[in-house]
Amino acid sequence: MLAHNYFTSSIGKKQILALTGLGLLGFTVTHLAGNFFLFVGADAFNKYAYTLTSNPLIYVAEAGLIGMFLLHVVLALVLKTENHSARPVKYYNKTRTGRGETIASATMPITGVIILVFIILHLLNFKFGAHYTTNVAGTEMRDLYRVVIEYFANPLYVAWYCFAVCALGLHTSHGVQSVFQTWGFNHKSYTPHIKTAGVLYGLFVAIGFSSLAIFCHFQN
């Protein structure tokens, strides 16, 4: 009964949303760090990708990641719907004071949709994209480096990718702050530092992924 009350309560759903968000934040920065092997070269990146995909635990990790992502999306939609139902009519116009709502927090639903579209296209173009093979140190593996380079040869794809990861950076910058705030870490002495950490994280994500797309474009 207690567990049921927790999972159906607003605070319970918000805390679970924060936990799944934290997991996705960790995955995002880890994924970005791994993609930096593109800067090293084809063999280094292909070997990194092969090491990941050839591990039998990759299926467990992918299933967990998909479940966490879907739960995050569903809870976000449920909470948004509940908030709207609780106050369907806006009784006053908001005045920006600089202390409350920010661009990042106000656009969370919009950037969330952009990220969802981005992930679907990302999987179609890379994970399920063209399959080339290469040989690295005597081991035959998928030439994912070639797939990535060919994709970013098109400047329109580079522009879309940069736009989408900037939306991701904006979304996650607020996400960092939201995670701590939801779990009670909200105090005037350290909240400014959390906000700064969120902005830095978002910039790292946006600039990091964008730099990869631009770099790959100029390899053609």
Range of the domain at 21: 13-85+103-217
Question: Rounded to two decimals, what is the model's pTM?
Answer: 0.88
**Is residue 124 domain-resident?**
yes
| Residue-level pLDDT at 87 | 64
Distances (CA, A) of 20 to 31, 35, 42, 215: 16, 22, 33, 31
**Is residue 29 domain-resident?**
yes
Domains held by the chain: number? 1
| Residue-level pLDDT at 110 | 94
| Residue-level pLDDT at 71 | 94
**Is residue 92 domain-resident?**
no
**Is residue 39 domain-resident?**
yes
**Is residue 90 domain-resident?**
no
CA distance 207 to 199: 12
How do the pLDDT tens digits run along the chain, 220 residues long? 666 677 778 888 888 999 999 999 999 999 999 999 999 999 999 999 999 999 999 999 999 999 999 999 999 999 888 887 766 555 444 444 344 578 988 999 999 999 999 999 999 999 999 999 999 999 999 999 999 999 999 999 999 999 999 999 999 999 999 888 888 777 677 788 889 999 999 999 999 999 999 999 999 8
| Residue-level pLDDT at 148 | 98
| Residue-level pLDDT at 89 | 54
**Is residue 50 domain-resident?**
yes
With 0-12 / 13-18 / 19 or more C-beta atoms within 10 angstroms meaning exposed / middle / buried, residue 63 is: exposed
What CATH number is given to the structural domain containing 112?
A: 1.20.1300.10
Q: Strand 133-136 to strand 139-142: parallel, antiparallel, or no bridges (unpaired)? A: antiparallel
CA distance 83 to 79: 6
Give the 3-state secondary structure of the chain: CHHHHHHHCHHHHHHHHHHHHHHHHHHHHHHHHHHCHHHHCHHHHHHHHHHHHCCCCHHHHHHHHHHHHHHHHHHHHHHHHHHHHHCCCCCCCCCCCCCCCCHHHHCHHHHHHHHHHHHHHHHHHHHCCCCCEEEECCEEEECHHHHHHHHCCCHHHHHHHHHHHHHHHHHHHHHHHHHHHHCCCCCCCCHHHHHHHHHHHHHHHHHHHHHHHHHHHCCC
| Residue-level pLDDT at 1 | 61
Query: Are 163 and 170 spatial neighbours (Cβ–Cβ below 8 Å)?
Result: no
**Is residue 204 domain-resident?**
yes
**Is residue 94 domain-resident?**
no
| Residue-level pLDDT at 154 | 97
